[in-house]
Amino acid sequence: MLDPKSAPNVEFLTETAAARELEYLSREIAHHDAAYHTQDAPEIPDAGYDALRRRNSAIEARFPGLIRADSPSNRIGGAPENGFSKRRHRVPMLSLDNAFDATEFDEFCARAKRFLGRTEPLGLVAEPKIDGLSINLTYEHGRFTYGATRGDGTEGEDVTANLRTMKSVPGKLHGEAPALIEIRGEVFMTKADFLALNQSQADAGAKIFANPRNAAAGSLRQLDVRITAGRPLSLFAYAQGESSEPVAETHWEYLQRLRNWGFDVNPLSRQLRSETGAEAFQNEIGLARSGLGYDIDGVVYKIDDLALQRRLGFAGRTPRWATAWKFPAEQATTVLREIRIQVGRTGALTPVAELEPINVGGVLVARATLHNEDEIARKDIRGGDTVVLQRAGDVIPQIVSVVLEQRPENSTPYTFPDTCPACGSHAVRPPGEVVKRCTGGLICSAQVVERLIHFVSRTAFDIDGLGEKTIQEFYDEGWLHSPADLFKLPGREAEIATRKGWKEVSARNLSRAINARRTISLERFIYALGIRRIGESNAKLLARHYGSFANWRTQMRAAQQIGSEERSELGSISGIGSTIAEELTDFFDEPRNVTTLDETAAQLTIQDAARAESANSPVAGKTVVFTGTLETLTRPEAKARAESLGAKVTDSVSKKTDIVVVGTDAGSKARKAAELGVRTMTEAEWRELVG
Ligand code: IVH
């Protein structure tokens, strides 16, 4: 990703480079908008997102001729998703411009004054900018009739039923109310509620939210309103949309009316007589920030006089009468004790920084993710380093940089391990990928439960009565270390029958289900091993090609040798490319995988690959290559037909090839066949041969 901080100065951009970058930024920002607004799963911190938008605006300001039709400056938020019906806002819900320092804030005030042609101080209202999601509530004759999320600013999702579950959304406004009014505010979750929710989500094995904002959004946008009802959501009201009659003359007065109607209004909001008071307020809230019960990311300053607001109106997607003065991301420095490697359930090795615990913006942080090997190398992060941590709305902070002046003298660059810390198997990183993975899937304690669940799943061994919970239970008991142990469970039948939740009958049924699967087809067996990229169809290809377990095993062992005939044969099986071949050789490269494979196979009868139709076919067992353009068959059809007759179809011609079927415009393969003296035939001859 482009890092706007290190990107070339906008002043030095050529027009071509600017156009290219605007295109990139449009795509990138749209992607992050969707991740944030539609999937509630942001991939970058808010500060990074803001930087992208600022870069985009800066380039557009210098090259107005290059502003794109799909410019992010003309877009807000994410479009509504399926599931909720859509609800149009009577007055669009727009967004706010940002200021990042006093100079930018002063520019905002100067612009507004210029626009109004006035020199007197601006009366303002300052409100903490809550990091939640904005919501539009419609009240008709004082009754709450419907409510919607912001969505794309024009229409959002109708979440009326969900909003009705919230205590802070009054069903009826107290006192006098206009015939129709749209009231806007921010739905959020307090830090304490967020932590408690994540704890109970973790206990239930459910989704963990990255930050309070995502938790609030995820909780509000539940199709099952009972789930929302159980979630601790809060609301601060702060703005108005459509109104059938004026309800106030100043924004401050409007906030009073909101309070009287029964809404919560942020108690830290303040009326400022002049813009000169803003900086002090900004500092005051900045200091209070980490101690607040909820996340804020800045202060919103609004011109108090509503008549002036109307005169100022909007420029594009933002009002001229308000700005959000953002805080810098919360940062702190601490010492990184060590880099530890976590092994995920799929074998991915993830580096984690163990830190001297430190308070960053009100959250005690003892750990930070380092993402992957390249990230550590790029930032040259080492054990013992003093590092700058940043928390921008997220609970899991990022390491921004290393304080090099404080690096210990004896420090050495970090080397990412080549073996799995959980099981000692070797770890590999396929070319072009960023993640290093443990190859000991079947025996690695971090992965074994996941692998066993796959092993017994319906499309693999299909063992009835062995669900996720039971596997975890038997694993915790120490009975299951590898798939071979599954077949030892019938030997524990009596013991199982006495366990909580089990009876003699259920234990007997489990033994039966396991024993019934001691005979298994080769393709299911290969698939059950859970080797990366070997799904059902690749397992089938391998089974058909190698025929028997013994042959497959021998060939795979031999294929370890780069340049061996077995290796090139594997890579040339139609449908199996070099990437898949490498996953297989990585698996067989780990001796403990082979031991486990053999132990498991010893418990089973593995049937040779099905060749029912093929027994007396003239091409059974033959290795066939199709080359050139076929006239009456598509390539996949030809291949499928050949395989169903027991032939092996490969992509390249070798001594082992029996038949080359030559279509039109055939090239080197036909020549090679002639050179090697391999039998060739036309498409018509092939059709005749196979009927
Ligand atoms: S006023 C025309 N006031 O910030 C814009 N917004 O970037 C009216 N926000 O979408 C918005 N606290 O989600 C306003 N006190 C506050 C706010 C606030 C948080 C959010 C809101 C809005 C976004 C704008």
- Best of 75, 98, 108, 134 for a ligand 1 pocket test (most atoms within 8 Å of beta carbon): 134
Of residues 335 and 78, which shows the higher confidence score? 335
**What pLDDT was estimated at residue 463?**
92
Q: Do 657 and 622 meet the contact criterion of CB atoms below 8 Å apart? A: no
Ligand 1 pocket, residue 130 CB under 6 Å: yes
Q: Report residue 37: phi and psi, to 5°.
A: -85, -35
Grouping H, G, I as helix, E, B as strand and the rest as coil, residue 338 is strand
Residues that are catalytic: 129
Residue 533 is predicted with a pLDDT of: 85
CA of 129 to the centre of ligand 1 (A): 7
CA torsion sign for 291, 164, 264, 89 is: positive
User: Residue 349 forms beta bridges with which residues?
Assistant: 343, 436
pLDDT digits (tens, 9 = 90+) for 118-131: 999 999 999 999 98
- Residue 129 Cβ inside 6 Å of ligand 1? The answer reads yes
Distance 95 CA to ligand 1 centre (A): 7
Ligand 1: does its nearest atom lie under 6 Å from the Cβ of 159? no
Quick: pLDDT tens for 368-391.
888 889 999 999 999 999 999 987
Atom index in ligand 1 nearest the CA of residue 132 equals 13
User: Does residue 395 have a pLDDT over 70?
Assistant: no
Domains and CATH numbers, the chain: 86-316 (3.30.470.30), 521-607 (1.10.150.20), 623-690 (3.40.50.10190)
Strand order in the sheet with 659-662: 648-650, 623-627, 659-662, 679-682
The Å distance, Cα 127 to ligand 1 centre, comes to: 9
Ligand 1 probe mutation, 36, 49, 94, 130, most atoms within 8 A of CB:
130
What span, in angstroms and rounded, lies between the C-alpha atoms of 294 and 285? Answer: 13
d(CA 299, CA 271): 13
Identity of the highest mean pLDDT range in 343-347, 583-587, 618-622: 583-587
Of 29-38, 78-87, 332-341, 409-418, where does mean pLDDT reach its minimum? Answer: 78-87
Q: Which residues lie across from 389 on neighbouring strands?
A: 332, 399
Residue nearest to atom 17 of ligand 1 (CA): 129
**Per-residue model confidence as pLDDT tens digits over 223-235:** 888 888 889 999 9
Q: Which atom of ligand 1 lies at the shortest distance from residue 319's CA?
A: 2
Q: Is residue 616 pLDDT above 60, yes or no? A: yes
For the cut 50, the answer to whether the pLDDT of residue 81 exceeds it is no
pLDDT digits (tens, 9 = 90+) for 327-360: 888 788 999 999 999 888 778 999 999 999 888 8
Residue nearest to atom 16 of ligand 1 (CA): 129
Please choose from 76, 95, 149, 321 the residue to mutate so as to test ligand 1's pocket, defined by most ligand atoms within 8 A of CB.
95
Percent of the chain residues topping a pLDDT of 90: 51
Q: How far apart are CA 308 and CA 315, in angstroms?
A: 15
How does 279-312 read in b/e, with b if 16+ C-beta sit within 10 Å?
eebbeebbeebeebebbbbbbbbbbbbbebbeeb
Q: What are the backbone angles phi and psi of residue 620, rounded to the nearest 5°?
A: -60, 135
| Ligand 1 atom closest to the CA of 314, numbered from 1 | 2
Q: Which of 77-86, 183-192, 337-346 has the highest mean pLDDT?
A: 183-192
Q: What is the pLDDT of residues 514-544, one digit of tens each?
A: 999 999 999 999 999 999 889 888 999 899 8
pLDDT of residue 283 exceeding 90, the answer is yes
- The amino acid at residue 84 is F
Burial class (CB in 10 A: 0-12, 13-18, 19+), 419: middle
Give the residue-averaged pLDDT of 211-229.
Answer: 88
- CB-based contacts of 436: which residues, under 8 Å, 6+ apart? 348, 349, 372, 373, 416, 427, 428, 429
Span 197-215, mean pLDDT? 83
Least confident residue range of 123-137, 484-498, 582-596:
582-596
Q: How far is the CA of 399 from the centre of ligand 1 (A)?
A: 29
Q: Which of 325, 307, 275 is nearest to 128 (CA)?
A: 325
Length of the chain (residues): 691
- 393: pLDDT confidence band, cut at 50, 70 and 90? low
* pLDDT over 80 at 50, yes or no: no
**Burial profile 67-90: b = 16 or more Cβ within 10 angstroms, e = fewer:** eeeebbbebbbbbbeeebebbebe
Reported as a pLDDT band with limits 50, 70 and 90, residue 34 is: confident
The model's confidence at residue 245, banded by pLDDT at 50, 70 and 90, is very high
What stretches of 603-681 show up as alpha helix (H) in DSSP? 635-644, 668-676
SS3 content of the chain, % helix, strand, coil (to 5): 40, 20, 40
Higher-scoring residue by pLDDT: 631, 146: 146
Torsion angle, alpha carbons of 72, 78, 82, 86, to 10: -100
The secondary structure of 458-512 as a DSSP string is TTTT--TT--HHHHHHHHHTT--SSHHHHTTGGGGHHHHHTSTT--HHHHHHHHH
Mean pLDDT of 187-201: 91
Q: Angle at Cα 453 formed by Cα 584 and Cα 546, nearest 5°?
A: 30
In this prediction, residue 394 has a pLDDT band, given cuts at 50, 70 and 90, of: low
**Orientation angle between helical segments 549-558 and 578-589, nearest 10 degrees:** 90
pLDDT given at position 258: 97
The dihedral through the CA atoms of 127, 128, 131, 132 has a sign that is: negative
Residue 612, pLDDT score: 40
